[in-house]
Chain A
Amino acid sequence: MDVDEDGLEGPAAATGNRDLLCAPSASTADAPQLQRATAAFVCRDERFRLEKRTYDSQYAPIYFCRLEIMTPMLLERVAQGWPGVPVSKILDLPEGQEVAVVGTIYKEMKLKPSILDEYNKERGLENLTGRAKLAAPDDTLVLEDASARMALRGDGCPPGPLVTGVVAAVRGAAAPGGDFDVKAVLFAHLAPQPERPRAPPGPAKYVALLSGLGIGEGGDPARLALAVEYLGGFLGGATEQAMSAQVVRTVVAGGLLASSQALEAPPPQGGAAKLRQPALSLGPLKEADMVVAQLAAAMPVDVMAGAADPANQALPQQALHACLLPNAAAYPTLHRVTNPHEFEVDGVAFLGTSGQNVADVLRYSEGDDAAEALTRVLEWGHLVPTAPDTLAAYPFAADDPFVLRACPHVLFAGNQPEFATRMVTGREGQRVRLVCVPRFCDSGTLVLVNLATMAVHPITFDASLEA
Chain B
Amino acid sequence: MAECSAAVSDAVLADLKTLVGEELKAISYKWLARERSLPVNLAKQLLFAFAEAHRGKPTQPKDAADVWNSDSLQTTALFVALAQARSEANCLADNRCSAVVCPQAARDPDLVRSKVAAAAAAAAAAAAGGSGAGGAPAPAGKTVEKIRSIAAGGKGGAHQPAAPPAAAANGASAAARQPTAAPAPAASKSSSAASAGPSSWPGAPQAARGEAQAKAAPGRKGASGNALTSMWSKAPPAKAKLAPASAPATGGGGRSGGGAAKAPAGGKGKGKASGAAGSKLAAQRAVDADAALQLQQEDGNASSDSESGGFTPAAGAAAGARGRALCSGDDESPAKPAAKHAREASASGARRSLLDESDSDSDEPMVEASGSQDAEAAPADPAAAQPAKELAAKAARKGAGKPKPAAKPPAKRARAKAAPAAVGSEGDDADVVVELNGGEASDAPGNATQPAKRRKGSAKAAPAAQPGKVKAHGTAGAQRRRVQRTVINDDGEEVTETVWESDGAGSPDPAPATAAPPIGKGDPGGPCAPSGQTVGAKGAARAGGDGAGEGSPQPSQSPSPAKGAKPGAKKGGAGSGAGGGKGASGKGASGKGKGAGQGQRGIMSFFAKM
A residues neighboring B (CB under 8 Å): 23-24, 26, 28-31, 33-36, 38, 220-222, 225, 229, 232-234, 241, 244-245, 266-267, 269-270, 274-275, 278-280, 282-283, 285-286, 289-290, 293-294, 296-300, 321-324, 326-327, 329-333, 463-465
Contact = CB atoms under 8 A, between A and B. Distances in A.
Contacts of B228: 274
Contacts of A323: 115-116, 296-297, 299-301, 303-304
Contacts of B607: none
Contacts of A225: 68, 71-72
B22 interface: no
Given A29-B39, A33-B100, A331 B72 contact: no
A336 to B, nearest CB: 11
Contacts of A463: 64, 68
A285 to B, nearest CB: 8
B44 A33 contact: no
Interface string B26-54: 00011001000001111011001000100
A293 B79 contact: yes
A127 to B, nearest CB: 39
Nearest to A266: B232
B92 A24 contact: no
A222 B94 CA distance: 22
A284 to B, nearest CB: 11
Contact of A465 (B39, B64, B284, B304): B64
Contacts of B93: 297
Contacts of A28: 41, 44-45
Given A31-B41, A322-B300, A464 B64 contact: yes
Given A294-B75, A326-B296, A232 B45 contact: no
A294 B92 contact: yes
8 contacts: A29-B2, A29-B42, A35-B101, A36-B102, A38-B104, A234-B30, A245-B100, A283-B290
B68 A221 contact: yes
- B interface, over-half SS: helix
Interface of B: 1-2, 29-30, 33, 39-42, 44-45, 48, 52, 60-65, 67-68, 71-72, 75-76, 79, 82-83, 92-95, 97-102, 104-109, 111-112, 115-116, 225, 228-229, 232, 281, 284-285, 288, 290-291, 293-294, 296-297, 299-301, 303-304
B8 to A, nearest CB: 12
B67 to A, nearest CB: 7
Given A282-B294, A286-B290, A330-B108, A33 B99 contact: yes
B216 to A, nearest CB: 22
Task: Find the residue from B41, B93, B106, B108 having the highest chain A CB count within 10 A.
Answer: B41
A300 B105 CA distance: 7
Contacts of B97: 234
A251 to B, nearest CB: 15
A33 B99 CA distance: 5
Task: Find the residue from A270, A286, A289, A321 having the highest chain B CB count within 10 A.
Answer: A286
A278 B301 CA distance: 14
Contacts of A285: 293
B192 to A, nearest CB: 26
Nearest to B111: A330
Given A33-B39, A274-B229, 8 more contacts: A29-B41, A222-B68, A232-B98, A275-B291, A285-B293, A297-B95, A321-B300, A463-B64
Task: Find the residue from A34, A38, A330 having the highest chain B CB count within 10 A.
Answer: A330
A290 B64 contact: no
B44 A326 contact: no
A290 B75 contact: yes
Nearest to A224: B68
A274 B268 CA distance: 12
A38 B100 CA distance: 12
B290 A326 contact: no
Given A225-B72, A290-B75, A299 B102 contact: yes
Contacts of B281: 275
Nearest to A296: B105
Given A221-B68, A234-B30, A298-B95, A324 B100 contact: no
